[in-house]
Chains A and B, each alone.
Chain A
């Protein structure tokens, strides 16, 4: 069974940094395009960032550009999201998910999410 488990969320003040992690199992992580998607409680889904199988190509949504950095460690089957200069509007549940193939535009599976709360 393909599985993704996020971790690293927490409560922190504006301006601080946080690194989220996602550990994969049940599929060939090293061949997979991976993404972060977030959801403000009670609101819709927002794509945050994506990374190619080897990390050479990274993509960011407008809200993440210049502040967030996506990376991966294929030896550890792990995906990361380094979030700097956090703002209150970054408060959300952050999901890790896999894209079937480049251009497929579909995401499966999804992790359970890790909650990031930014508040003074």
Chain B
């Protein structure tokens, strides 16, 4: 059971915005970089956001990341049907000495 908690699902109409939260603690999010991944069924995860808020080359600026205290947030603006996927946050936990992934969130475009 992951200690990084995400909402199971979020949804919005095309063109709208969704945000996905990732809640942790001072031993993980509070003191380490957070990354975000997108995963379509049957495919490998894809890096969306690194170092809390940086987009790798090729990731549209519709995707954004932020972090505050022990929580992180992924934002998706201008929602498209192609954004329907699973999204995971990830970070290091110094107490556990382990990398952690969030519980995962399904994005649905209504």
Contacts and interface: CB of A to CB of B under 8 A. Distances in A.
A95 B51 CA distance: 21
A62 interface: yes
B32 A45 contact: no
Contact of A44 (B2, B32, B51): B2
Given A45-B88, A47-B99, A95 B44 contact: yes
Contact of B90 (A62, A103, A105, A109): A105
What DSSP secondary structure best describes chain A's contact surface? strand
A35 B2 CA distance: 18
Contacts, number: 71
B80 interface: no
A113 B32 contact: no
A60 to B, nearest CB: 8
B63 to A, nearest CB: 14
Contact of A110 (B35, B45, B92, B96): B45
A118 B51 CA distance: 36
Contact of B35 (A37, A50, A105): A105
Interface of A: 35, 37, 44-47, 50, 59-62, 95, 100, 103-113
